[in-house]
Every structure is written in structure tokens, then in C-alpha cells.
Structure 1
Amino acid sequence: MLMARRKIRLVWQSVLLLFWVASAQAAEQLSKDAAHKLLERVATAAKSATYSGTYVYQYGEEISTYRMIHVLDGANDAERRETLDGPPREYYRHGTQVSIYPADPQQAALDRRYTSKLFPRQLPDQPEKLLVAYGVQLLGHERVAGRDATVYQLEPLDQFRYPHRFWVDDGSNLLLKWVVLGMRREATQAFAFTDIQLGGSVDRKLLKPTRQLQAVVIESSNGVSTLAQEPNWDIKAPPAGFRLLKQTSKTLPGKNRTVIHHLYSDGVATVSIFIEPFHHRLPLGLAHQGGTHLFARQSGANLVTALGEVPAVTVEAFANVYNAR
């Protein structure tokens, strides 16, 4: 197992070194129409192509390996994926019906933050909405998992989000690699196929779950343009491009206080707002881990916390959108 992890880490280091090659190449800005068509092709390929393979996910020092299979089954697509290291986890989806392992009695639904990690479906169902906040650049050509790919980048139009670099298979338009870049253009989060089989016949027996799964609901709202509303709060418009996905209010396990949660997304990045009663022991200000930032401030008798895989300026801006009356 130790040798396997060392091998994965060496492979991943080689993957990340490719940034210096791609970064050195001149970027070509795509027109909005060309960018729209590209994003549509990539989003469609993830749902319509038949493929199976192994991919690696890295966030900070954490590296996880997954095996997956995806097929088109009549009018719906189906997929199954499982972890190859660490605690066993399994995910199965047929159309909009999703089941997971291990079972969690308290988790009856999954939101977009979870499903957005399900590589290679990084793009939202309506990818054209990304062009409100991002431009698309053509960076060059490379190979990923033995396949020829074209390298593109979602380049932010403002300071409120990170660049996202992605590699698209030349033959199928399937996403082969996706990397989130930090403010210094360092890799903060990455997904990449290490081997993949595209098209042809796939053994459908591989779709069959190997464990007892729990059915869950996917909350797949694409967001609304209306402002969030809460009694006794003045809530202004968030940074441009972010849309409200959902509003919830619940009492956290083991705590006697209600926490309000608002979830926003621009299509690839998400920001959560938490509102709860203020306590002097709760820390204020900015904190971060890797590319994830948190900003907390007091507003009246409440604590407002903004959390997301976005720059520091974004979480601070979100926290200041909320003011108690």
C-alpha cells in the first residue's frame, strides 16, 4: 500500500509539473460564441459518452483514487464509482436516482457541492451561465492518460473567483483533467484520469453495486437571480455571477441553536453563508486552508460566516452582504 501511494504521488507530481509547460504557452481568448459552444460540448460529453477508468483527486496533502464506469442507458445515463484507497465508499446513479455507501441515516439529500466533485461532470447543466463571470482561453495541446487533449482555462473576469484549467479529449470532448488554480496560479485542487477507456463495449456488470447502498435525493437547483430573504436581515446582492441555490434553517446536532444556511454558486465555485447566535468564544476574521477561505464577522447579536473555495476577498464580500436590522 505504501509503495502504491508513493507511485500515485509521483504520478501526481508529474501531472502538476505540466502547469509550467501550459503556463508558458501564449493564451488565445475565445469569442463568447466559441466559448459557449465548447462548454456545451464538454458538458454534453460527460453525460452522453461511454467511458470507464481510474482518476485521482488531490486537495492539499490529501490524495484519493477512484474507479468509475459511465454508460448511456436508453434515455438516461448511469454511472458507478468507488474509492480504491482509504475507507470504502461507493456511489451509483441511474438518471436522477442516486444511492451511496456507507449509509447515513441523517443524510437524505446531497447538494451541488457534493455532486460538483463527481469528475468529469465539473460543468453545470447550463454552462453558458459561466460566461457571466469567466472568459475562456485556449492554452495549447498536451496528452492526458495517453490521449491527445486541448488545454483551456476559465479565466475570471473579476477578483472574486479562481481560474480553472481543464483538458478536453480531442476525440470525444470528454473532460480528462480539471485543476483549480490559486491566486499565485498554484494548483489548489485537481482531478485527472490516470487511465481511461472511451467508447466501445463496456462490461455492464461493472455497474452493479458491490455493497448495500442508501438512496438519497440530489438537490440540483441551477440557482435563482432573486436575493436571499430572512426576517430581520438586510441582504444585498452578492458578487456578480453568483446565484442563490438554496436556503435552509436547522438546529445542529448536539447544539441548542438554530443555524441559517444560504448556498451560492457561479456554476463551478460555491460559497456558503452561515448565520447563528454570536458567542464571544467564536473567532472572528479571516482563516484559510489551501484554497478554501473563511471569513466571520459579528452583526448585531449574530455571527455571520462565509466559507468557500474562493479568494479571501470573496468570502469577506459575502459576509458583508448580510446585516442584522
Structure 2
Amino acid sequence: MRFFSLLLLGGSLVMPVHAADAQNWLNRLLKAEKQQSFQGTFVYERNGSFSTHAIWHQAGQVGESRERLLKLDGAPVEVVRVGGRLQCGSNALADQLFEGEPWPPRPLDPQKLAEWYEVRMAGESRVAGRAAVVLTILPRDQYRYGFELHLDRETALPLKFLLLNEKGQLLERFQFTRLDTSATLAKDELEPGPSCRPVEILQAAEPKPGAWRSEWLPPGFTLRGMHAQPSPISGETITYLMYGDGLARFSVFIEPLHGALVEDARSQLGPTVAVSKRMSTADGDMMVTVIGEIPLGTAERIALSMRAGEAQADR
């Protein structure tokens, strides 16, 4: 699930408050996603809009876990993942994807990660009728968001996940309303429905080394991957760069304009921001777009820092 991937922080963060307890709960969280099967329903909230979802998760060895998500209200949307990779999806979810992992695994440096976040034990709560412990993950600067995580006391599964801005305002929420960790999952509960179309995997071309670089990155963010793919609309080759700090992530898209009249733009929907800036290069005008769950000001500064060249900022 999305909140699992966001919160896999690695094995040994340095935490100044209740360090041993917080360390223990994070280690349990890491194990829970790999070892604990479950089913339930959860509510997702973003930008004041709510939706309800059912989930079935069958734990397994690496590459063998299976997960099915089904939206229960509004337009039907279904997703099935096998081994963490999207197998099928409804509507646009089944459109073109890159071949290979979009966010390649990279060993985390716990000491470095602790420079950008502070993890604290924050008390206890009760979610979906289950006792929970509360952890806060607080940024040490203005370039990323903070998190609040409610972990099931019995299994360490996330019962509630809140994404908060610099003012402590809610940007995004996942919250279970029912969680069952005892029932054996039936095979048909994990099988996709007729509207879940197989994903079409595209071969992603590798761009020229040093084709693009950022002159400024938020401290702790590094380049995690770089690809090139044809635009499904214009057919032009889009360069796609992926950055992360071990917890937060954002992407940068660079597309040639070929004389098209496109204005700069900025928008935010819940936690997700999109900033587009027109840029002149030796190869003509380009549109640089930054998309991610980072503050709007951070995204704008990143977009303005992109350059065609050799060196890559890596902090």
C-alpha cells in the first residue's frame, strides 16, 4: 500500500525522544508489510474529498505478495499488485508504464535520514476499534512535510496515516474503518475483476548521461532514477527524473515545446503540487514540470533550478 512505501524508513534511525520505543515500532512496521496478511476497509481523504476502499493483502516471500484494492463509492476503480508491481488497473491506471521499478531500491543511510526528520513517540489512540500507538515524523526544515502514524498495537500495521503541512494542517488521510488480520483470504478475493485491465509496459529509453541536472535540491534529496519516454499525447520524448530523501519523493518532467505557446502554471490538490516553468535551452524551449508531495515553494525552486548539463546536485 502507498503508506507502507512512504514509511519504510530503514532499520536504525537516530531518534532523540523515546528512541528505543520508536525504533522498535518502526522495525515492527517493516516486518508487518512482509509477514502480515489482512483485509479491511479504509477511508481516503484529500482536499476535503472522501472515498471508501476495500483492501485484501496476502503476505508472501519477495515477489510473491499479492494485494487488491477496490474503490467502493463513485466511479469503480480497482488495482491489483503482485510483488509490489502493478498487474492491472481500471481506467487510466492501466495505461502506459515504464519497464522496471519507477523508484529503484536504494540503501538508506539512517544517520543521514535522521538529519532531515525527527521521529517521536506521541501517545496512544484507538482506530477501527483497535488499540494503537502514535508516532510523529517531523521535518527539520521547510522543504518537506510531516507525518502522523497510528500503528496497530497488535500487528504494527498502519491504522491511520496523516500527512501534514508546515502549519500542521491536514493534507491527506488514510484511516481504516475495519481491519481483520485473522481470517484466511479466499483466492477469489485476490483475483482482479473484469474491469481491471492488464498494464501495458513500455520500454523506457535511457537519456543521454548528463542530459539534465538540478542546480539546487532540498537537503537530503538525491536522484533515484532517470528515464525517457514518448508522450502519449504529442509523441515527443519526455525526460523523466525521480528524486527522494528516503521518505518524501518528487518527479521532474522535461518536454520540448517546438514553438507551442504554453504558459507557466502552478497548482495544488491536497498534498500533490504541480509546477510548470518554460525554459530556453540550446535545443529550443522546454517545459519543466515538478510533481510531488512537497511544499509548493520547494517545487517552484526545484523547477527554476533545472539545467541542461553535466553535473548533478546531490545533497
TM-score interval, normalised by the smaller of the two chains? 0.7 to 0.9
Mapped contact 1:97–1:215 kept (Cα < 8 A):
no
Question: When the two structures are superposed, what TM-score results if normalisation uses the length of structure 2?
Answer: 0.75
Once the two structures are superposed, residues 235-269 of structure 1 have per-residue CA deviations (whole angstroms, 9 ceiling, x without a partner) of 33522222323222233233264322212122332
Distance of 2:173 and 2:109 partners within structure 1? 20
Aligned partner of 1:99: which letter? Q
Structure 2 residue aligned with 1:61, among 42, 48, 55? Answer: 48
1:182 is the counterpart of 2:169: no
Aligned counterparts, 1:1-325, within 5 A: 29-31=17-19, 35-73=22-60, 76-96=64-84, 98-102=86-90, 106-109=95-98, 128=110, 130-211=113-194, 213-216=196-199, 229-231=209-211, 233-236=212-215, 238-255=217-234, 257-277=236-256, 281-284=261-264, 286-300=266-280, 301-324=285-308
Mapped contact 1:97–1:217 kept (Cα < 8 A):
no
Aligned partner of 2:48: which letter? E
Distance of 1:71 and 1:251 partners within structure 2? 35
Structure 2 residues not aligned, in runs of 5+: 1-15, 203-207, 310-315
Which secondary structure state, in structure 2, belongs to the residue aligned with residue 29 of structure 1?
Answer: coil
Distance of 1:218 and 1:254 partners within structure 2? 17
Distance of 1:64 and 1:258 partners within structure 2? 35
Distance of 1:230 and 1:141 partners within structure 2? 49
Mapped contact 2:238–2:253 kept (Cα < 8 A):
yes
Distance of 2:74 and 2:224 partners within structure 1? 31
Count of paired positions: 280
Aligned partner of 1:243: which letter? T
Identity of matched residues, %: 28
Once the two structures are superposed, residues 250-303 of structure 1 have per-residue CA deviations (whole angstroms, 9 ceiling, x without a partner) of 332332643222121223322121223356742336443333333333432333
Mapped contact 1:239–1:317 kept (Cα < 8 A):
no
Distance of 2:37 and 2:52 partners within structure 1? 20
Aligned partner of 1:196: which letter? L
Distance of 2:235 and 2:273 partners within structure 1? 26
Question: In structure 2, do the counterparts of structure 1 residues 185 and 280 end up closer, same or farther at CA, with 3 Å as the change threshold?
Answer: farther
The structural deviation recorded for 1:37 is 4.0
Question: When the two structures are superposed, what TM-score results if normalisation uses the length of structure 1?
Answer: 0.73
The structural deviation recorded for 1:309 is 1.6
